[in-house]
Structure 1
Amino acid sequence: MMSSIYFVALPLLFGFAVPLLAKLGKNGVAYTSTLMQTGLFLLSVTLLLSTSWHVEIISINPPLGISFVLSEASLFFVTLFTLLMMLFSLYYMALRKTDPYKNENKFFILINMVLASSIGLVLSSDIFNIYVFFEIAGISAYILSAYQRTPKALEAGIKYILTGMVASVFLVFAIALIYINLGSLNLAILSERFVTLPHDTKFLIGLLLLLGFGFKVEIFPLNFWVTDVYEGSSAPVNAL
């Protein structure tokens, strides 16, 4: 059972179904998105509580292909992410009655991209796909932060984009150094081979990863830009 594919693919593919769902009325996209997130949450809970499931590993064209591992630990975070996104959608469904976004269809596409990339992050077992899912989440967050198109929101979006670009440069250099020196991006293989690298190479890779991921996950003191972004973004986006 390729459950991990469903958790990532369904939210990503949701955008392709939006034109058809929009024909169901103004609530078609919103209700379907929330139902899909609820279904994924129930699936993750069912798997988490099941006594017969086993660790699921999916690898396509290694060492640079897709590699997912659905373990008990990663499944816990999948359950958490789907629950939080389901609750966020329910929160917005209540909020939209008085203060809806102008283009809700795009909004629901973006929050499902955030969901898919968040799940992809915890399922990925290689550093390249972790980087890819970080970028998908980042692009979605850039657009969401400027979604209201007010001056503050646009300023927040620009600051988010600029810091994200800097972080991406650090990560690309780190990934390139890892692959050149170790010949693989699989986390299990890296854990065995990384100790064989010279100290200066390990330090450089570690520094680049720290700066890259530090900007993206808002680690102090690399989170100096966060206050402006939160101030300029809307309340629902900040909650997300």
Structure 2
Amino acid sequence: MGRLDGKRALVTAAGQGIGRASAIAMAAEGAKVFATDVNADLLTDMPDGVESFALNALDDASVAEGVARAKPDVLFNCAGFVHHGTVLDATDAEWDFAFDLNVRSMLRTIRAALPGMVERGAGSIINMSSACSSVIGAPNRFIYGTTKAAVIGMTKSVALDFINQGIRCNCICPGTVESPSWHDRVKALGEELGSYDEALKQFVSRQPMGRVATADEIAALVVYLASDDSGFTTGHPHIIDGGWSGQ
């Protein structure tokens, strides 16, 4: 306990899933956490040490205001969306939205948070990527996998450019994680296949461990990357996928 004492952490998409679990886990380790989400109604029942407010990661002004309020030592970019389909299914509107939310939102928050981190001489930026990226391909994840590969490239670039100014930048590449949005995707596939159980079987079967991850398991990695325990770690995609990409 106390690995994040004295640190201020800003989390996007903290209303549910990995974002919420990570906000709670960082608060338990002593951080002053600023849990944000575009839907403020999701930011309820947070523990002590968590301050919640609405933040729209698609809006420059909202991001600038949120970063100014949080003054983060730790930035966890968790906002994102998963599109289904191949390159032949992808529309220009879906492509543009995915890059805006999955990639450009991180550009907004990093660009807003970095000057303060540089001034203080320390900071940890954690970006949410995916094993479905440049790490491994996944069926019907053309847009998603492309954007998450871009996140890995962004992470490496930021890490290198600011490595001598006390800033670390890493990304997390999970496999399938249980969350409300994942359950929505299972239901959607179930409707397409005519069977929820068959859809669930497809999602789980690609995980060699025979199960999907919990949000708490990913949050534990977030805490590590936020803490000084990972002080010699920067510029890397941290794969936590139950062996999926190692097959």
Question: Considering the TM-score relative to the shorter chain, is it more than 0.5?
Answer: no
Structure number with the higher helix fraction is 1
Rg larger for: 1
TM-score relative to the length of structure 1: 0.30
